[in-house]
Structure 1
C-alpha cells in the first residue's frame, strides 16, 4: 500500500504544480470554505488530475465520498486519496456489476451535492425515488448530459450544471485535448504510425472534430461518419470524406467512435471491414461499438496484451478491439488522458460550478442546465490571461 501511495504522490505533485488555475482557487477556498458542512458524492475517472480536483474541493471544506468510472480507475490514486482521508470505492479491475455496487455505496453515504460523470449517480437517485436532501450537482460529460435530457428528463428534482455544455470545455477539452490524447493513445497502445493510414471517425461532435483534426495533422487519411445533417455538412466543408459507417467500412483501417450514443458501430459495418480492422472508442460509455454482437459472432478471441484483443470472425477475417470498447485514452495501457492544461480549465469549470451549487442553488432551476454565463466568461478571462493574451 505504501508503494502505491508513494507512486501516486509523485505524479499528483507534478500535476498539481502544472494546474495553476486550480491552485489559485484552492488558495481562495481555504479561506472562504464554500463547501463547509457539505458531502460531495462523486463518480468520475480517478486518475492523478482528478486527485488535484478533489484536493481543491477538500480545501473548501468538502467531505468527499466517491467512486471511479468503470475500467479507468487507477489504483494507486485511490490509495493516495484514501490516505488523505477521502472515502473512495473501486478498483481498476472491477466488473460492471461491481461498479454499479460502488455507485450505490456512494449514494448510501447520502451526499447533498453530486459530481457526476455519465449520470450514474443521478440515475441512482431517481431509481431510489430520493433526491429531497440534494441541493444540486454537476455533470461532466456529453453522455451524462444526454441521459439527463432523455431517460431522466423531468425526473431529477435538483439542479444539475452540465459542464460539457460550456463552449470553453467543448473547445479546450473536447476538441483539442481529447483529439490530442486519442491520437497519442492510439500510437502508444498499438505502436502503429498515423501517416497514410485510413481512419474513420464516427461522430463529428466536438470530440470527433478534434480526433479528425489531429489525425489529419499527423498525415492520416480521415473520413467521418455522421448522421446529423448539419454536422455532416460541416465535416464535408472541413474537407473530410463523409459517408455512413457502413459506407466507409470497406475503406477504413481504423474506426474510432466519438458519439456518446449506443451501438453506432454495428455488426453490419464490422462485417464489411477488411481483415485486421482496428476498433476503438473514446466515448464515455463502452456501448458505442456493438461488442456483444461482435463477441457472439466470434469464432475465437485472443488477448494480445491487457489492451489489445484479436477477435476471429467467420470467413477467416479478424478485427482488433482496443480496451474492450472502453474509453481507450483513459482505459488503455499506462493511460494519460487529456492534457494537464485542458483539465486545469475543465476542473476550474467544475469547482466554480459546484461552488455556485453550494452557495447559490436557489438561483438555479431543477434538471440539466448549462454553466451560468457569468462563470463561463470569468473563466474565459482567466484562461486568456494565463495564455499571455489580452482582450
Structure 2
C-alpha cells in the first residue's frame, strides 16, 4: 500500500473515531481559543492508533508542536501516515511521528532516541521510556513536566527513577476515574473481544487464569465470567486476593492453577509473573497472553530457549513446541495482545475519550502551572477528575 493510500485509510478511520469522542471535541474547540501549548514541544511515546490521533489533533489545536513515536508492536501505519500529513493539511504546528508496525525492539529504542533528540519541553509518556531517557541524558532542566499513562510507567517513576525526575509527572493511571472507566471496563472488554477475534475460540466453559487483580485484572476476570468463562485469579497481594475470593473467583498460585487453566492472561505490570516452571505444568495447547504494557510478564525468552520449534499459525498466534511433546500457543509474541492481530481495536471509544481528556487537561495544567506541582510522579489533580466525571455523565445521558 502506498503512503497516499495509507494516509487515506488512516484518515477514514480517524474520522469515525473523532465523531464518537465528544469530550475531546469540546476540549479541542476550547483549546483552539485558549492556546495553552503555544511555544511548547511535546515529546510523545504512546500507542499510535485512531483514538490517539484524535488526542494529538486536540493538543495540536492548543498550539502544541508534537514529535513522537509509537510503542513497540502496536503502531498502526495508516494512522502514522495520516498524522504525518496532518500539520501541513490543517495549518497546524509541526507534528512528526516515527515508527512502523514491524519495527524491531532496537528500532523502537532508536525512535525513542529521535524523540529525545528533538529536545521536547513536555512529555506524553507511556511506560516511562521518555522520562528515563531524559534522566539518562542529564537534560532534565529543559523539561517542565508531563504525563505518564500507565501503571508500569508510574512504577518506574517511583522506583528506578525516584528522586531523579525534578519535574512533575502526572500519572494518569492513578486516577480513580480512569481506573473505573478505562482499566476495569474498557480493558476488560477489549481483552475478551481481542481473545475471541484473534483466536476465534469461544469463552463459555473455557478455563481462564488471570494474573493480577488490580483494576485491569479484575475487569478482565469479570468480563470473561460474564460471557460464561470459568475464571481463577493469581494475586500475591493478600487484600486483592481476598477481594477476588469474595467476588467469587478461585484464587491460588500459578503452579497450582497451571494444570487447570486453558488460557493464561497476565495483567500485573510486573516482569516474570508467568514463569517457565508454570508453563511446563500446562496441558497441551494452553494459550498464553499478556495485556500489560511491557512484553515482560510472560517468560518468553525462557520459553524460546527450551522450545524444540515454533511457527506462526495465523497473525499474532504462534505455536511453540516443548521438549515434552506438548505445545503452548503464544499471542502477539507476549506483547499487549489487545492491540494486536488483524484490525486491532484496543479500548472502547468512550473510555479513551475519557482517558485522553485526562491526558489533555493534565498536560494543560503542566503547561500553565508546572511550578505549583510537586516534582516526580503524582496523581491527576482531583478537580480535573471531578470535572471530567461530570462531563462524562452528561455525555452518557446517565440521568435519563
Fold conserved between structures, TM > 0.5: yes
Match of 2:311 in 1: 302
Q: Please give the residue correspondences for 1:336-355 in structure 2 after superposition, counting only pairs within 5 Å.
A: 336-355=345-364
Unpaired runs of 5+ in structure 2? 88-94
Partners of 1:272 and 1:39 lie apart in 2 by 50
Q: Please give the residue correspondences for 1:121-136 in structure 2 after superposition, counting only pairs within 5 Å.
A: 121-136=130-145
- Please say if 1:364 is aligned against 2:373: yes
Match of 1:102 in 2: 111
Partners of 1:196 and 1:235 lie apart in 2 by 20
Of the structure 1 ranges 284-293 and 125-134, higher mean CA displacement relative to structure 2 is found in 125-134
- Please say if 1:78 is aligned against 2:87: no
Partners of 2:184 and 2:341 lie apart in 1 by 20
- Please say if 1:214 is aligned against 2:239: no
The match for 1:113 among 104, 122, 135 is 122
Partners of 1:105 and 1:12 lie apart in 2 by 26
Match of 1:58 in 2: 60
TM-score (norm 2): 0.97
- Please say if 1:228 is aligned against 2:237: yes
- Please say if 1:68 is aligned against 2:70: yes
| Structural RMSD (CA) | 0.9
Q: Please give the residue correspondences for 1:1-391 in structure 2 after superposition, counting only pairs within 5 Å.
A: 1-85=3-87, 86-390=95-399
Partners of 1:3 and 1:136 lie apart in 2 by 37
Partners of 2:22 and 2:257 lie apart in 1 by 43
Alpha-carbon shift at residue 312 of structure 1 (Å): 0.3
Alpha-carbon shift at residue 362 of structure 1 (Å): 1.1
**CA displacement 1:18-64 (0-9 Å, x = unmatched):** 00000000000110000000000000000000000000000000001
TM-score (norm 1): 0.99
Paired positions, count: 391
Alpha-carbon shift at residue 390 of structure 1 (Å): 4.8
Alpha-carbon shift at residue 389 of structure 1 (Å): 2.8
Alpha-carbon shift at residue 130 of structure 1 (Å): 1.3
SS of the aligned residue for 2:142 comes to coil
**CA displacement 1:218-244 (0-9 Å, x = unmatched):** 000000000000000000000000001
Q: Where has structure 1 moved over 4 Å in runs of 4 or more?
A: none
Partners of 1:240 and 1:259 lie apart in 2 by 17
Alpha-carbon shift at residue 383 of structure 1 (Å): 1.1
Partners of 1:381 and 1:270 lie apart in 2 by 45
